[in-house]
């Protein structure tokens, strides 16, 4: 098959950034009518149904019995823990600050690589982690007033850690599945684990205003389903390190969406902390690209 045009790839990247940047605003709107657990469950019930429809049309690789525990672990860290912690955290953290804290997952990936998988970590990467953690402290403390560290911000860091564990498990244990099949099983297994929040959900759905319903529907279809498919398309045609660079557009885009949809105005210190976090994560990826080029040469 012929390679897609550069325009199609750029549009797919822009679509991914827009979908994932909308997520913090969509969560804030959803929390106006839903408890954090209910919101996570409803969002991924919608995503599961949507991805099931696509899987029925496209086809999907059946899981092997021995892989079922691993697939549920992926669902727990990528969906259940990540999104419940994120929803609870965003009850008192702005959408813009949340988007920045969620992008700190590469910092936790470095710590996991050193202390769990016993990989060698260079002094450069340790410096990036330290710089990133300084930025995280600035964002968390400045979001609701300088010096007032909110525990909800720490829960968003837990969500970022959970996302890092998901990627680590995916890298070390999930090489037998294509990206679409793995995304489907992670979403479906994570949704099954979220069924503990099913009691009371139907009443919440009936009472929620229409604006919130549309926001949650968008969460289920765009960031939770279509964005993963678009991201898989991008990764098929673009180098991973180059593709991930586009993800640094998510926090400023999220702040713009939150400004329009929620009337949020990030403080100067939040912006400073955001820049520090993004520079540290960018520096981590630049070092990885340099290592890859050295190996290729």
Which pLDDT tens digit goes with each residue over 110-146? 777 666 666 676 888 788 888 888 888 788 777 765 5
Question: Rounded to two decimals, what is the model's pTM?
Answer: 0.83
On whether the CB atoms of residues 254 and 99 are closer than 8 A, the answer is yes
Is the torsion defined by CA of 184, 187, 190, 194 positive or negative?
negative
Torsion of CA 132, 27, 158, 144, to 10 degrees: 60
Q: Where are the domains of the chain?
A: 1-33+208-264
Burial 91-105 (b: 16+ CB within 10 A, else e): eebbbbbbbbbbbbb
Q: What is the pLDDT of residue 293?
A: 46
- Helix ranges, 174-209 (H): 179-193, 201-207
Q: What is the pLDDT of residue 236?
A: 75
Q: What is the pLDDT of residue 294?
A: 40
Please list, in sequence order, all residues whose beta carbon lies within 8 angstroms of the beta carbon of residue 16, skipping any fewer than 6 positions away. Answer: 227, 230, 231, 234, 246, 247
Q: What is the pLDDT of residue 73?
A: 94
Percent of the chain at pLDDT exceeding 90: 34
**Backbone dihedral angles phi then psi of residue 143, each to the nearest 5 degrees:** -60, -40
Q: CA nearest 122: which of 283, 13, 259, 273? A: 283
On whether the CB atoms of residues 105 and 164 are closer than 8 A, the answer is yes
Low-confidence ranges of the chain (pLDDT < 70): 1-3, 113-119, 121, 144-150, 171-175, 239-244, 287-297
């Amino acid at each position: 098959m012929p390679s897609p045009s550069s325009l199609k790839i750029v549009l797919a990247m822009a679509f991914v950034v827009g979908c994932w940047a909308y997520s913090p605003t969509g969560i804030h709107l959803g929390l106006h009518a839903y408890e954090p657990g209910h919101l996570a469950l409803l969002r991924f019930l919608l995503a599961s149904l949507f991805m099931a429809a696509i899987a029925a049309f496209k086809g999907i690789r059946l899981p092997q019995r021995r892989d079922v525990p691993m697939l549920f672990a992926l669902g727990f860290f990528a969906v259940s823990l990540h999104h419940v912690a994120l929803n609870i955290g965003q009850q008192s953290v702005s959408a813009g600050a949340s988007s920045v804290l969620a992008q700190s997952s590469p910092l936790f990936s470095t710590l996991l690589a050193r202390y769990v998988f016993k990989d060698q970590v260079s002094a450069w990467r340790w410096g990036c982690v330290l710089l990133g953690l300084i930025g995280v402290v600035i964002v968390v403390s400045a979001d609701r007033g300088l010096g007032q560290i909110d525990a909800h911000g720490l829960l968003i860091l837990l969500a970022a850690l959970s996302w890092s564990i998901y990627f680590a498990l995916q890298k070390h244990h999930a090489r037998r599945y294509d990206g679409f099949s793995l995304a489907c099983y992670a979403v479906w297994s994570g949704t099954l684990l979220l069924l503990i929040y099913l009691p009371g959900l139907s009443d919440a759905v009936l009472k929620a205003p229409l604006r919130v319903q549309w926001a949650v529907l968008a969460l289920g279809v765009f960031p939770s389903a279509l964005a993963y498919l678009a991201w898989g398309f991008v990764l098929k045609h673009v180098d991973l390190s180059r593709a991930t660079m586009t993800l640094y557009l998510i926090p400023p885009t999220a702040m713009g969406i939150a400004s329009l949809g929620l009337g949020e105005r990030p403080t100067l210190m939040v912006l400073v902390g955001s820049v520090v976090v993004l520079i540290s994560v960018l520096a981590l990826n630049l070092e990885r690209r340099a290592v890859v080029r050295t190996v290729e040469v």
